[in-house]
Amino acid sequence: MVISHRQAKGFIDGRCVTVNGEMIEKHGHRLNPGDTVKVIFDPELTYDVLPAARKLQAGPFETLWEDNHLLFVFKPAGLLTVPAEQGGEPSLAEAITESYRRRGFKRFNLFIVHRLDRFTSGVLVFAKTPEALHGLKKHFELHRLQRIYYAVLVGELPENSGTLAGHLIEHAKSLKMSVATPRKGPGGGKRMPAGAKEAVTHYRVIERLPGHTVVEVKLETGRRNQIRVQFADRGFPLLGDQVYGTESPLLDRQALHAELLGFKHPVTEEQVTVTAPMPADMEAAMKALRNQARMHRAVSGVKGEEGIYQPTETRDHKLKRVARAKR
């Protein structure tokens, strides 16, 4: 058997080589006269050289659920879902593909079904076969799936539940999304501007904290930046959202987490529901807000149910909210 220098390095990186019974992990290991070298490998697999450690550590991911057709992973905040056009930054799709390559898969196809914003964490699904890709695209197009997010809003949301319904449009120059407003048409009637797409978001309050509201959000549609834009338009931007809100000392990214994704399996037709635990940075931000509430109650000397934080809304904020609802 004749192998190339690169293949030999691949065997070492694949932990296939031992010298005198000891595993060899570094390239360039020097042999001495009489050394016994053994190489145990699977001829059906391809063993390639691992990339530099810096590249491997740039895009970590955690598998939440997997079968032959689907792959659910946890996307950490700050990591791109797919490579950017200009390149140069790590992405989740590249990290997954590289991981399978290192495991010896000669041909591995990863199909992009949906994305999460760069600074949003949570559960994300990829298709591994064309059949799964086709079925998942249908689910997303027809909204035949369950998507639940957790978000921390800046402000005291007055109601306990509701629905945000409207249209979103992308600005050509800034690429930022905004809520579209009807314009007068040729016949005198009003119509949405070209490119505006329907966006429907359902929500309910999970917890009320000083100056903030924790909500559970259920997406009916899945427009880009939908949750962030619609709540910001109502006057309740997400905590830490540096695009549609303001920076926060509590969190260095928007407080948005994709907690649950569920649908009927596109191949087996079984119900699949996958959840992702709340990340530590959001937990820490909410803990800090809860501590503020406890401190306030302790200083005030209140006990029991008395003094429990209640939402308030200024008259000016209410007038603006009503005006937006009448558009």
Q: Of 90, 89, 88, 14, whose CA–CA distance to 49 is shortest?
A: 14
**Residue appearing with tokens 């050394």:** 35
117 catalytically annotated: yes
Question: Which residues lie below 8 Å from residue 154, measured CB to CB, with a gap of 6+?
Answer: 211, 212, 236, 237, 238, 239, 245, 246, 248
Question: Which residues lie below 8 Å from residue 302, measured CB to CB, with a gap of 6+?
Answer: none
Assess contact for 84 and 100: CB atoms under 8 A. Answer: no
One-character DSSP codes across 148-179: EEEEEEES--SSSEEEEEEEEEE-TTT--EEE
Q: Of 12, 38, 8, whose CA–CA distance to 25 is shortest?
A: 12
DSSP one-letter code for 70: E
Q: What single letter denotes the amino acid at residue 268?
A: T
Q: Of 83, 91, 169, 81, whose CA–CA distance to 125 is shortest?
A: 81
Assess contact for 242 and 235: CB atoms under 8 A. Answer: no
Between CA 251 and CA 258, with CA 254 as vertex, the angle to 5 degrees is 115
Distances (CA, A) of 5 to 11, 27, 38, 48, 181: 10, 10, 16, 11, 63
* Coil vs helix vs strand at 140: helix
DSSP one-letter code for 68: S
Annotated catalytic residue within 13, 42, 67, 117: 117
Active site residues: 117
